[in-house]
Amino acid sequence: MEAEYITRAEHNEYVKRMEDEHKRLNNRLITVENATKDMHELIKNVGIMATNMEHMVDEQRSQSERLQRLEEMPLDSWNTVKSGAYNAIGASIGGAIIAAILFFL
Query: How many CA within 13 A on the CB side of residue 86?
Result: 6
pTM: 0.50
Rounded to whole angstroms, the Cα distance separating 94 from 89 reads: 8
Per-residue model confidence (pLDDT) at position 22:
97
Instruction: Report the length, in residues, of the chain.
Output: 105
Rounded to whole angstroms, the Cα distance separating 69 from 103 reads: 50
User: Across the chain, what does the average pLDDT equal?
Assistant: 91
Q: What average pLDDT does this structure show over 42-62?
A: 96
Per-residue model confidence (pLDDT) at position 81:
84
User: Which of left, alpha, beta for 5 (phi over 0: left; psi -120 to 50: alpha)?
Assistant: beta
Is the pLDDT at 36 greater than 90? The verdict is yes
